[in-house]
Structure 1
Amino acid sequence: MALHLHQLSVDAHDHAALARWWADVLGWRIGYEDEFECNVVPPEHTEDPVDDTATWLTGRTSLVFAPVPEGKTIKNRLHIDLAPHIDQDRDAEIEALLAKGATRVDVGQTPDVTWTVLADPEGNEFCVLSSRDR
């Protein structure tokens, strides 16, 4: 059995604003939006049907943001990891995220880790990993 990791759902106070922030960060786009959700999809995403399982399973995961009345209060149990390519300047990418409204976060990581923990504008933690080519 193989299921496709179709989308990752994120609760948000302002779901549309947070979805747009993530779309900008990832270079993705808004695929669908209403008062109940805002879906962020990769650039190649299409609404065309996929006829075979093998192709279906190769599709990239999207993000969906849903409004909730409560704010974030504790560390995420699930988070997003971003990774720059070895040709990219990792520190510059982190600075660009900070300029867009991300903040540095201490979740107990030690100084020798190879990732940087940040939070999006609503406080959801995510990591920028070391540069890699796979």
Structure 2
Amino acid sequence: MALRWYSTVIDCHDVAAQADWWAQTLGWKVAYADDDEVTLVPAHASVELVRATPWAQVPPGLVFVPVPEGKNVKNRLHIDLAPHLTDDRDALIAELLERGATRVDVGQDADEVTWDVLADPEGNEFCVLSSREV
């Protein structure tokens, strides 16, 4: 028996703004929204497609929920994003920075790593990896 990775939950202050930022970043769509929760799923996901997909192969979503406290320390879990080989990685990072991401130093040696560490507008770290074919 195995469990399915159903979703990743992101705590935040402004649920709608965070969900919108990540939807733009990933090209995903809102599957559910109210004042206390927004759920994002891949843009190609539809109820019909999900029902036709074997349970274990349905991709996870992102869920944004409000919390009163602020973020104080480095995330213990983060999302890795990767551009395709045909994408302009530097331009994608520049766009993220223009939309409110910030560069973060978590102790990485900039001369030896193949990823950039950024934080979303509420400070949650994520990495932009080197370009990949798959």
- By how many angstroms is 1:3 displaced? 2.1
**Which residue number in structure 2 is paired with residue 76 of structure 1?**
75
Amino acid at match of 2:14: D
Equivalents in 1 of 2:83, 2:98: separation in Å? 17
Residue pairs, 1:1-134, within 5 angstroms: 1-48=1-48, 50=51, 55-111=54-110, 112-134=112-134
Equivalents in 2 of 1:84, 1:21: separation in Å? 17
Amino acid at match of 1:85: H
Equivalents in 1 of 2:54, 2:95: separation in Å? 34
Amino acid at match of 1:93: L
The two structures, once aligned, show a CA RMSD in angstroms of 1.4
TM-score under structure 1 length normalisation: 0.92
Give the total of aligned pairs: 132
Residues 43-72 of structure 1: per-residue CA shift (max 9 Å, x gap): 122234626xx6222221110000001111
- Percent sequence identity over aligned pairs: 58
Equivalents in 2 of 1:36, 1:47: separation in Å? 22
1:50 counterpart SS class? helix
Gaps of 5+ in 2: none
Equivalents in 1 of 2:92, 2:40: separation in Å? 20
TM-score under structure 2 length normalisation: 0.92
